């Protein structure tokens, strides 16, 4: 079973990994200890991510090359997106939050009339060639500057964990406001129980890079409900197009919370082994429906 947030192995040298780690940890600490005014009004997310990509030219987002495996993962994500938007192919609007190099936007654009490609970093997107029906949107990291109630499907992959915890609900509410009634937000994020998942995984026992908070299923469900999503689904992806969904409710989530608490108390190696079991969702795919 291949999950949609599985990533290709990082093949950089140890020196390159350490160089990346030291810079990202330095920048992440500035973000972690910042004020809301610094982050939002002074665009600190943009400043720090632009600095990261300038100082780490070998960053995987800049240096990775298309392979059969990466193309498979992109196509798998497109299949997931279209699974939740089957009735209006070619006539609807997609919002890709954290579009990065634009690979997903390019692959998904034929299925949509309009695509918004949103990111905080002008540095990472400046050389991205977008399709004609896609518009680049720069964000301060929390706001979603697209017309209200204009989006059928919003999507993010490896985004939630990059937000300052104090900003998470606010951004989710902004995404909620961008959706049409009945629209959905597909959020893929790594599970903290088998983390860390950022560059610090090579050096630290907990995330110290730009993964400011990695989540469990129960934690992510809680903030989706705070953002007023009417329904929240937990998804599992098998192969290219088989999508299994579970509608979450307080009783089910309480069960997840109890299991997660037990797993989290285990020694790190045992915790990783347990959490990497497909039943416990190494990577969390949550879908909020407005």
**So what's the pLDDT on residue 1?**
25
pLDDT single digits (tens) 98-144: 998 899 999 999 999 999 999 998 887 777 789 999 999 999 999 99
**So what's the pLDDT on residue 11?**
81
| Positions of the chain with pLDDT under 70 | 1-9, 62-66, 86-90, 239-241, 278-280
**So what's the pLDDT on residue 4?**
38
**So what's the pLDDT on residue 109?**
94
Q: Do residues 156 and 187 make contact, with C-beta atoms less than 8 angstroms apart?
A: yes
Q: Which residues contact 229 (CB under 8 A, 6 or more apart)?
A: 172, 176, 185, 288, 289, 290
**So what's the pLDDT on residue 60?**
77
> Residue 278's Cα: distance from chain center in Å?
19
**So what's the pLDDT on residue 59?**
85
Burial of 156-166, coded b for 16+ CB within 10 Å and e otherwise, reads bbbbbbbbbee
> Residue 40's Cα: distance from chain center in Å?
19
Rounded CA gap, 54 and 277, in Å? Answer: 37
pTM of the model: 0.92
Class of domain 66-289: alpha beta
């Amino acid at each position: 079973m291949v999950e949609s947030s599985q990533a290709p192995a990082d093949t950089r040298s140890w020196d390159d990994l350490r160089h990346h780690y030291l810079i990202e940890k330095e920048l992440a600490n500035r973000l972690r200890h910042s004020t809301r005014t610094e982050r939002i009004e002074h665009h600190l997310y943009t400043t720090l991510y632009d600095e990261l990509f300038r100082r780490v030219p070998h960053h995987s987002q800049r240096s990775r090359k298309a392979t059969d495996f990466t193309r498979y993962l992109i196509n798998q994500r497109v299949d997931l997106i279209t699974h939740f938007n089957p009735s209006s192919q070619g006539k609807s609007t997609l919002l890709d939050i954290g579009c990065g190099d634009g690979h997903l936007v390019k692959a998904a654009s034929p299925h949509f009339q309009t695509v918004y490609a949103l990111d905080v970093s002008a540095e990472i997107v400046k050389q991205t060639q977008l399709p004609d029906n896609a518009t680049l949107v720069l964000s301060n990291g929390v706001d979603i500057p697209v017309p209200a109630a204009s989006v059928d499907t919003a999507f993010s992959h490896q985004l939630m964990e990059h937000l300052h915890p104090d900003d998470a609900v606010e951004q989710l509410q902004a995404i909620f406001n961008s959706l049409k009634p009945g629209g959905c937000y597909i959020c893929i994020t790594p599970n903290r129980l088998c983390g860390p998942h950022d560059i610090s995984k090579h050096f630290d026992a907990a995330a110290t890079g730009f993964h400011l908070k990695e989540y469990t299923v129960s934690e992510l469900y809680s903030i989706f409900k705070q953002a007023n999503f009417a329904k929240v689904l937990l998804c599992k992806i098998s192969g290219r197009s088989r999508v299994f969904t579970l509608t979450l409710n307080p009783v089910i989530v309480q069960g997840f919370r109890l299991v997660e608490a037990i797993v989290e108390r285990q020694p790190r190696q045992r915790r990783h082994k347990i959490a990497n079991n497909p039943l416990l969702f190494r990577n969390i795919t949550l879908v909020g429906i407005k």
